[in-house]
Amino acid sequence: MQEKHYSAFNKPKWAAVLFLLPGILTFLLFRYYPMVKAIIMSFYDYSIMNPPGKFVGLGNYTRALQDPMVNLVWKNTATIVGLSLLGFFIPIILAVLLDEVRGGNVVFRTIYIIPAIMPAMVTIVLWKWFYNPDYGLLNIIRQGLGAQPLGWLNDPKLAKLCLVLPGFFAPGYTALIYLAALQGIPKSMYEAAIIDGAGYWQKLRYITLPRIVPMMGIMLIMGLIGAFQMFEAPFVYTGGGPLNSTKVVALYIYEEAFNFYRMGYGTTMAVMLFVFLLVLTWLQVRFFKTDPDS
């Protein structure tokens, strides 16, 4: 038998490392290096003209804990996140309904995915026109029904809801993810349940929902991270107003770092947001780490 000789680079493990190396280096350069740089900057009164500036240690963190505006933006962010959770089950309901459709399934999937393809900024600008108090679509509809027009984005009591309301009407991308999870459930389980006399709601409760709990956990994690990092909507809709009612953490970080050039203080709040989301994600992963068959 002819003996085969392999060099070190012919071994499968080295081939895998070589293929992964460009991606790993890119990830380290554009993800972890800026992260480490931001953490270092947070300990300085960072100067753009003479970096890194004066070392202040934990001074920026102490200032952030005593800053009343920081408390306000965190309260605003938490309120907006809570409002956004009101729409968490909308894509799940849509996915369950789509899974029941036998004919024209592709047509319905296409209808739901098209809004997700549209750039987020286009959707935000379109909804800003809807909210216009003078000629916006929503007030035109209200006046047609005989109701008084609303200020929408000019009303501190409505502005937060206006930021999350568009998301309730565009759950298509998330709904399709849930639909894929539903279609991965073995049909034999439903057939066995039918033989045992289970009805629709019993199948939904004991088969469908337990097996999409891991996916629900992932989508909840991604949704909360996105909500806490919300920037585009308050930046375009209100700029943080009215009366700072929609000024969120990410917007305040942007203002401090790029409007007032307090880079050290801005990165300090960014690091605090990162740590908070890291702990929140860890807690969610632990909570949703369940086995549907147990």
List, for residues 87-136, the tens digit of each pLDDT value.
Answer: 888 888 888 888 887 666 677 777 777 777 778 888 888 999 999 988 88
**pLDDT, tens digit (0-9, with 9 covering 90-100), for 44-74:** 988 888 888 889 889 999 999 999 999 999 9
Coil, strand or helix at 257? helix
Residue 254 identity: Y
Q: Which residue, 143, 231, 140, 223, is CA-closest to 178?
A: 223
- The span from the CA of 65 to the CA of 69, in Å, is 10
Assess whether pLDDT exceeds 70 at residue 5. Answer: no
Find the length of the chain. 294
- The span from the CA of 51 to the CA of 69, in Å, is 27
Question: Residue 95, class by beta-carbon neighbours within 10 Å (0-12 exposed, 13-18 middle, 19+ buried)?
Answer: buried
Assess whether pLDDT exceeds 50 at residue 183. Answer: yes
The upper half-sphere exposure of residue 167, i.e. CA atoms within 13 Å in the direction of its Cβ, equals 20
Question: What is the CATH T-level fold of the domain 64-287, as seen in this structure?
Answer: MetI-like fold (1.10.3720)
135: tokens are 């000629």
What does the domain layout of the chain look like in residue ranges? 64-287
